[in-house]
């Protein structure tokens, strides 16, 4: 399955020493892995000219225009977005020193008031579901493509007090695994996954809807006024199957875990998971000026929002005459398997250090702090090759065309 993306931090309120040291070490190693990895290819003069032409001819509605590029006292239309170029005077007294400050996103949020209806709409999953369904009809009629497949909305709620509708839906959900999620939030905040069961208790369903309805995001940034203007709501949808369900070849080519060892003589000391194999295959398609810029196979994070790039593959569409199966597919981290094995060993040992600290401080459990999660594995060369071929052969061409059509219509 796939999704189109148009362009919480959890704190431990107890001795951050050992629990934090492992995480800092992991971040340092991740930085090394990223710097040592494959570099992004440079654009040719022809490609630059093509993008420049797209930028000058693509039109959007006025809601998407940015009349003022000033944010945190800096004009980002004239200033480098590279933090290495920022002066101390620029950083003083501003959020520029905070980790994760992204000038473009901050400018967009500052220029997204609640009266820009288009910006409010794209933040609302319920409205966007209906919009994409309508756009799908034009895609079939005018582009001659297949309908854009979305998960059906089994239920849409703005209140947990619609007892009759909830009871009716509960009877229809018997034997079906489903998801209850807020339509006004993202990043999996407030999402509940309910496994299939012979009977669904209406009271349980009502509680899940109420939980999603009142969920709030613990954001590292200040939401825009447009985001805050989205009316709280809840969607109930069937659960996506794992992309490996019924796919024997993918189970053989991409195992659920890697073994960890010091060397062959010591034997296996543990395992690290490839958690994404148990999830749906999620493709995020970035469209700029009506053209697909990149397709990202996104494998999700580690539970605390870190290191999703472990499972990412970046597919770059080429010129029209190049078949989608030949599009460039890159891995953002270090490509050498032996180096990845060392990283997995490092993460695994730090994970056990975290477990030891957690077990030695029973107050953490009393405070509701969850135990540390096992670190993720890295994609090996053979696994990357299989996944690149799998995505390019089965999905890349269709999702690129559909995303371009949707983005153009929304603009």
pLDDT higher at 221 or 58: 58
Q: Which of 255-264, 336-345, 401-410 has the lowest mean pLDDT?
A: 255-264
Give me the chain's average pLDDT, please: 83
Task: Determine the Cα angle at 260 with ends 256 and 263, to 5°.
Answer: 145
- 289 bridge partner residues: none
What per-residue confidence (pLDDT) applies to 242? 86
Tell me how far apart the alpha carbons of residues 276 and 255 are, in angstroms, rounded to a whole number.
10
**Looking at residue 189, what is its pLDDT?**
86
pLDDT at residue 91 above 80?
no
- Residue spans per domain, the chain: 55-147, 155-231, 259-410
- Tell me: pLDDT of 51 over 90: no
User: How far does Cα 356 stand from its chain's mean position?
Assistant: 31
Distance CA 312, CA 298 (A): 5
Name the DSSP class of 194.
Answer: E
Grade residue 47 by pLDDT with cuts at 50, 70 and 90: confident
DSSP 237: E
Answer with the residue of higher pLDDT: 99 or 364.
364
pLDDT in tens, 116-154: 999 999 999 999 999 999 999 988 887 777 889 899 999
CB 295 within 8 A of CB 396: yes
Beta-strand ranges (E) seen in 114-172 are 155-157
Are residues 391 and 2 in contact, defined by beta-carbon separation less than 8 angstroms? no
pLDDT level of residue 216 (50, 70, 90 thresholds) = confident
For residue range 273-297, what is the model confidence (pLDDT) as tens digits?
Answer: 988 888 888 899 999 988 998 999 9
pLDDT of amino acid 92: 74
Q: Give the integer Cα–Cα distance in Å for 345 and 263.
A: 10
pLDDT of residue 100: 66
Task: Give pLDDT, residue 222.
Answer: 76
Q: Which helix (H) or strand (E) holds 227?
A: helix 225-228
Phi first, then psi, for residue 283 (nearest 5°) are: -115, 125
């Amino acid at each position: 399955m796939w999704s189109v993306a148009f362009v919480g931090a959890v704190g431990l309120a107890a001795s951050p020493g050992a629990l934090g040291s492992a995480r800092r070490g992991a971040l340092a190693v991740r930085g090394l892995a990223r710097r040592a990895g494959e570099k992004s290819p440079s654009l040719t003069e022809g490609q630059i000219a093509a993008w420049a032409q797209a930028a000058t001819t693509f039109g959007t509605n006025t809601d998407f225009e940015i009349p003022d590029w000033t944010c945190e006292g800096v004009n980002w239309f004239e200033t480098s977005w590279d933090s290495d170029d920022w002066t101390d005077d620029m950083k003083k007294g501003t959020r520029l020193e905070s980790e994760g400050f992204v000038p473009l996103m901050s400018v967009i949020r500052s220029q997204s008031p609640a009266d820009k209806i288009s910006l409010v709409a794209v933040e609302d999953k319920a409205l966007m579901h209906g919009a994409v369904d309508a756009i799908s009809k034009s895609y079939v009629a005018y582009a001659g493509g297949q309908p854009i497949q979305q998960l059906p909305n089994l239920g849409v709620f703005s209140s947990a007090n619609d007892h009759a509708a909830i009871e009716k839906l509960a009877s229809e959900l018997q034997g079906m695994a489903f998801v209850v999620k807020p339509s006004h939030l993202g990043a999996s905040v407030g999402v509940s996954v309910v496994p299939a069961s012979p009977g669904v208790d209406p009271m349980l369903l009502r509680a899940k809807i109420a939980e999603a309805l009142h969920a709030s995001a613990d954001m590292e940034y200040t939401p825009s006024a447009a985001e805050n203007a989205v009316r709280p709501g809840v969607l109930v949808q069937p659960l996506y199957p794992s992309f490996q369900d019924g796919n024997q070849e993918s189970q053989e080519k991409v195992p659920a875990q890697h073994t960890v060892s010091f060397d062959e003589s010591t034997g296996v000391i543990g395992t690290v998971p490839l958690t994404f194999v148990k999830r749906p295959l999620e493709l995020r398609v970035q469209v700029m000026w009506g053209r697909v810029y990149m397709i990202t196979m996104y494998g999700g994070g580690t539970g605390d929002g870190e290191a999703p790039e472990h499972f990412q593959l970046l597919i770059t569409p080429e010129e029209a005459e190049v078949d989608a199966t030949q599009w460039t597919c890159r891995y953002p981290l270090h490509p050498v398997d032996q180096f990845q094995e060392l990283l997995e060993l490092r993460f695994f040992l730090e994970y056990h250090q975290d477990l030891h600290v957690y077990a030695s401080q029973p107050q953490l459990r009393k405070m509701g702090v969850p135990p540390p999660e096992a670190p993720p594995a890295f994609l090996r060369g053979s696994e990357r090759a299989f996944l690149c071929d799998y995505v390019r052969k089965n999905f890349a061409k269709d999702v690129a065309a559909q995303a371009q059509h949707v983005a153009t219509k929304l603009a």
